[in-house]
Chain A
Amino acid sequence: MGNENRIINALLKLHIVLCLLFIFAPIAGSFVFSLNSDRFPSLPLGEFSTEWYRLIWEDPLVWQGFGNTLVVGLTVAVIATILGFGGAYTDFRYNFTGKSVYVALALLPPTIPVVIMGLAMLAFLSRVNLSGTTISVIIAHGVMCSPFAMAIIRLRLSQMDPDLEAASWNMGGNQWQTLRYVIIPFTKPAIFAALFITMAVSFDEFAVAWFVSGLNETLPVKILGFLQGQVSPRINAIGSLAFLSSMTLIILAQLLLRSPEEEK
């Protein structure tokens, strides 16, 4: 029996390793390929080369895309976090008729397929003459990112002692002062985490941005353009850099959420 258990446990471990390999091989692959001289890498791998990084460094279109991504990402992070904070606090504090509809409407966007979101956004925004602008990408990403911000901040609020707010009111603090001196300091780690995570989501979103961005393409939309063209290992170089920046944001967010007590 004990022997059998050990075999089963070893097989389960092996299965997990294989799953992780399957999930991370493409990500690790794109790193390796980005530093490889071959246009289409195969076994055996070609020589080490930073050629693809030099090419994207010198490509003004990549820089332009990067600029757009940055502007969109930063703006979306702020908007989505403010909207999400309001939604999270509303869900935490108030009871009202139609609350479930309110929460559903707030959290539903990520479940709608991106092609459908893209088409709906394009049709609507071009009707109000906004399609093809950076603003349209910001609007669309605001819709898609605010649910994440709301979920993160709501989770933090549920860890708060409800008496804390009552204590503040009892001591004569009005709602605004309570928000300023009690709620916001308590949720601060989650607010920063929400900023970073929504920024990371916006950085990688390509489908809806592709539908609505027109000529103001963000970097992921540029990658889509490269994909439609010929084989280009520049995708790997851009992807690796994008991965590093997203990972930085996620790790920052994780650190903030992990040790909320030290954060005062």
Chain B
Amino acid sequence: MTKRPTLFSLILSMPLLLWQLLFFLFPLLFLVAISFWTVRNFQMTPDLNFGNWERVLSRGVFWDAYFRTMVLATTAAVVTSIIAFPASYAISFKMSEKAKRWMIFILIIPFFTSYLVRVYSLQVFLSDAGIINAAFAYIGLGPFPMLNNAFGIIVGMVTLTLPLVVLLQTFSLNFVNRDLIEAAHNLRCGRLRTVFAVIVPSAKVGLVIAALFAFILSFGDFVSPLYLGGGNPPTLSIMITDFTKSGQQWPRAAVVAIMMIITLLTAAFAAVTYAYKERGK
């Protein structure tokens, strides 16, 4: 292998690089640029105007949406992680290799179903006259309001993220050294205590990363807040679609998008730092 890149290596490596530079990185940078542009008569003109930033960031509506989105995504990440953990634990520690492979295959299936169709189906399950409340009515309970409120949004987000979180948790639990657990048992460490004192700390990185992915997916999701939460008050992603689709206010939508990216990068950095921090230091 010579140090100078060969024509062969360039032909293989360059197409992907150029595609992602031109159609991925450049549009994202372009987003930063248009956040300073001005809109006149539905036309964007290049400018260096901080007006969009001032207008968006000085509004209570934006910060309400910001904290609402933050709380929803954090709740979804925590709830999903808690629901997922016993399942991942059972898959990783209690199942045969063959059963494990089947579970992984089954958990991959939802990624290839339409999230929209699932959310529409959830509407039928959750509405006041829907399947679940009809079942409750048989035993004389309800109806419980489950649609067009935060509960509906969280259900949607958990539906979206649960398969991924179980998969990521299972992979990290698979790497936990089995000798450690046996050692803990030999030292008369109880079952539950083994889980929290041995297994959770040794799989910490994977568990935190799984929760981070749930947070990122939920934070950017606009389908659950819109079709299970009723869309009002809006979340950040609904604000972006509103600004873009009806208002022709692309620069303001860009401001919201950049704020979201900054938040996600901060969250990712914090989570990774926390995940790799040594215990007791």
A residues neighboring B (CB under 8 Å) = 8-9, 12-13, 15-16, 19-20, 22-27, 29-30, 33, 40-43, 82-87, 89-90, 93-94, 96, 102, 105-106, 108-109, 111-116, 118-125, 127, 139-140, 142-143, 146, 150, 175-176, 179, 200-201, 204, 206-207, 211, 220, 223-224, 227, 235-236, 238-239, 242-243, 246-247, 249-250, 254
The chain B residue sitting closest to A206, CB to CB, is B116
Q: Quick check: A123 and B30 within 8 Å, CB to CB?
A: yes
Q: Which of B128-136, B145-153, B175-183, B271-279 contacts A (4 or more CB under 8 A)?
A: B128-136
CB contacts (< 8 Å) of B96 on chain A: these are none
Contacts of B86 in A (CB 8 A): 12, 15
**Residues of B contacting A120 in the complex (Cβ-Cβ under 8 angstroms):** 27-28, 30-31, 257
Q: Which residues of A contact B130 (CB under 8 A)?
A: 42
- B53-61, B101-109, B196-204 - interface stretch: B101-109
B214 within 8 A of A: no
A42-B130, A116-B220 known; A242-B114 Cβ under 8 A = yes
Q: How many angstroms between the C-alpha atoms of A16 and B131 in the bound complex?
A: 22
CA distance A96 to B5 in the complex (A): 9
Question: Which of A16, A90, A250 has a CB less than 8 Å from the CB of B90?
Answer: A16
Q: Is B264 at the interface (CB under 8 A from chain A)?
A: yes
Partner of A41, one of B25, B84, B124: B124
Across the interface, do A19 and B219 meet the contact criterion of CB distance under 8 Å? no
Contacting residue for A150 out of B9, B16, B103, B260, CB 8 A: B16
- Among B241-281, those with CB < 8 Å from A are 241, 244, 250, 253-254, 257, 260-261, 264
Additional pairs, 16, CB under 8 Å, beyond known A26-B117, A113-B260, A249-B112: A12-B86, A23-B162, A23-B163, A33-B121, A40-B127, A41-B124, A42-B130, A85-B12, A90-B9, A105-B21, A118-B244, A120-B27, A123-B254, A124-B26, A142-B23, A201-B112
- Complex-state Cα separation, A41 to B112, whole angstroms: 25
Residues of chain A with a CB closer than 8 A to B8's CB? 175-176, 179
- Say whether B120 contacts A115, CB under 8 Å: no
Task: Identify the closest chain B residue to A231 (Cβ).
Answer: B123
User: At the interface, yes or no: B166 with Cβ under 8 Å from chain A?
Assistant: yes
Mark out the residues of chain B between 77 and 92 whose CB falls within 8 Å of any chain A CB in the assembled complex: 83-84, 86-87, 89-91
B15 touches A242 (CB 8 A): no
CB distance from B12 to the nearest CB of A (A): 4
Map CB proximity to A onto B36-73 as digits: 1 under 8 Å, 0 otherwise: 00000000000000000000000000000000000000
- Chain A nearest CB, measured from B56 CB (Å): 14
Q: How many residues of B contact A (CB 8 A)?
A: 83
What is the minimal beta-carbon distance from B3 to any residue of chain A, in angstroms? 9
CB <8 Å contact, A19 and B19 = no
Q: How far, in angstroms, from A74 to B9 measured CA to CA in the complex?
A: 27
Complex CA–CA separation, A89 to B163 (angstroms): 30
Contact of A87 among B16, B94, B105, B114 (CB under 8 A): B16
List chain B residues, Cβ under 8 A from A13.
90
The answer to whether B124 touches A223 (Cβ under 8 A) is no
**A116 cross-chain contacts in B, Cβ below 8 A:** 28, 31, 220, 240, 257, 260-261
- Cα A175 to Cα B94 in complex, Å, equals 47
Q: If the complex has contacts A23-B110, A242-B114, are A30 and B121 also in contact, measured as CB distance less than 8 A?
A: yes
Known contacts A29-B121, A111-B216, A146-B20; A224 and B134 CB within 8 A of each other: no
The answer to whether A87 touches B13, judged by C-beta atoms less than 8 angstroms apart, is yes
Residue from A24, A175, A206 in contact with B114 in the complex, judged by beta carbons closer than 8 Å: A206
By the criterion CB–CB under 8 Å, are B105 and A146 in contact?
Answer: no
Q: From residue B108, how far is it (CB to closest CB) to chain A in Å?
A: 7
Q: Tell whether, in the assembled complex, residue B20 and residue A143 are in contact, meaning their CB atoms are under 8 Å apart.
A: yes
Is B91 in contact with A16, judged by CB distance below 8 angstroms?
yes
Identify the closest chain A residue to B21 (Cβ): A105
